[in-house]
Amino acid sequence: MEEDKKMICEKLGELLKLTRAGEDIDRIEYSPEKADAIVYCKSCAPYGLRVCVEADSGIAMIQDIIRKVV
């Protein structure tokens, strides 16, 4: 099964916004050419938090992003 990392990041961003830890998140974007995810939030504006997700599975990517946000 091919995992849609872009969709995983979009949905994870929506989910984290519902929590106290992620309340200032605007969105999470996946950048396949750089193999990273960028978490955009009010506290990390204007550049966002970069999370390296190179060679990550979908679940490993979620874990890496959550570790960086929390």
Domains in the chain, number: 1
Of residues 40 and 47, more confidently modeled:
40
Residue with tokens 């984290």: 16
| Per-residue model confidence (pLDDT) at position 14 | 94
This prediction's pTM: 0.85
Cβ-contact 61, 49 below 8 angstroms: no
Model confidence at 18, pLDDT cuts 50, 70, 90, reads very high
Of residues 16 and 47, more confidently modeled:
16
Range of the domain at 20: 5-69
| Per-residue model confidence (pLDDT) at position 56 | 84
Residues whose CB falls within 8 Å of the CB of residue 46, separated by 6 or more in sequence, listed in order? none
> Residues 7-12: what's their mean pLDDT?
94
